[in-house]
């Protein structure tokens, strides 16, 4: 089962990143959070602000089922060669992992990447604009005026594409209808109630 010592259990990036003239971009984990808050944050914007500094609030959302699969893939890559027991846990049938994640006391719920988007960022109605994960580059270029140096070797690292890792990927098509229903109605029900889909 899960040994929580291998995982981040605190909210690693609870604040939105501030760009330009007071544009706050909220990125829950698995929604380009590391790319925006760490990679871009090295040179542009800042994580902290003073009262009244935020003029526009933007959120980046991701389909909860696809995000759940992305979180499993992250665990597969993160724990490769670190712990045989943990690696074996994440390589079991993803439909089994969904059922283990469902109970409210499941230790999977303590892993930050598996916390719901609503838990991180509240309802989407609280934002001036909401973009999907696949729109991040357009958001950066067209709304924020941020240039991404694709030649920077860290750019690839911080984009965290699961396809770049030597792992067997979990895709939404690997989940049964029952598993998808559990994700929608038990694990991330608040995401579906509050616009994070």
- What's the token pair of residue 114? 């598996």
Greater confidence (64 vs 18) lies with 64
**Whole-number average pLDDT of the chain:** 85
User: What's the rounded mean pLDDT across residues 142-149?
Assistant: 86
Of 82-86, 171-175, 188-192, which gets the smallest average pLDDT?
Answer: 82-86
- As a three-state string, the secondary structure of 152-166 is CHHHHHHHCCHHHCC
Sort strands 56-61 and 129-132 into parallel, antiparallel or unpaired: parallel
pLDDT tens digits for range 12-37: 555 678 887 889 899 898 999 888 87
pLDDT value, residue 89? 95
Q: In which order are the strands placed within the sheet that holds 17-19?
A: 17-19, 23-26, 56-61, 129-132
pLDDT value, residue 19? 84
Distance from C-alpha of 126 to C-alpha of 120, rounded to nearest angstrom: 13
Q: Are 18 and 49 in contact (CB under 8 A)?
A: yes
pLDDT at 176 over 70: yes
pLDDT value, residue 1? 46
What is 71-127 written as a DSSP string?
HHHHHHHHTTTT-HHHHHHHTS-HHHHHHHH-STT-GGGGSGGGS-HHHHH--GGGS
């Amino acid at each position: 089962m899960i040994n929580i010592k291998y995982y981040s259990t605190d909210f690693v990036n609870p604040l939105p990143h501030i760009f330009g003239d007071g544009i706050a971009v909220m990125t829950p984990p698995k929604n380009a959070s590391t790319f925006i808050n760490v990679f871009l944050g090295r040179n542009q914007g800042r994580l902290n602000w003073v009262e009244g500094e935020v003029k526009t609030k933007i959120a980046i959302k991701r389909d909860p089922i696809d995000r759940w699969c992305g979180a499993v893939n992250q665990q597969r890559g993160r724990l490769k060669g670190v712990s045989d027991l943990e690696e074996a846990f994440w390589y079991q049938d993803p439909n089994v992992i969904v059922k283990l994640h469902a109970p409210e006391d499941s230790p999977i719920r303590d892993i930050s990447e598996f916390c719901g988007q609503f838990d991180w960022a509240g309802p989407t109605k609280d934002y001036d604009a909401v973009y999907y994960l696949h729109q991040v580059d357009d958001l950066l270029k067209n709304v924020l005026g941020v240039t991404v140096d694709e030649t920077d070797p860290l750019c690839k690292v911080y984009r965290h594409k699961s396809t770049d890792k030597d792992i067997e990927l979990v895709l939404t098509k690997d989940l049964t209808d029952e598993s998808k229903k559990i994700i929608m109605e038990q694990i991330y029900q608040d995401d579906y109630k509050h616009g994070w889909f």
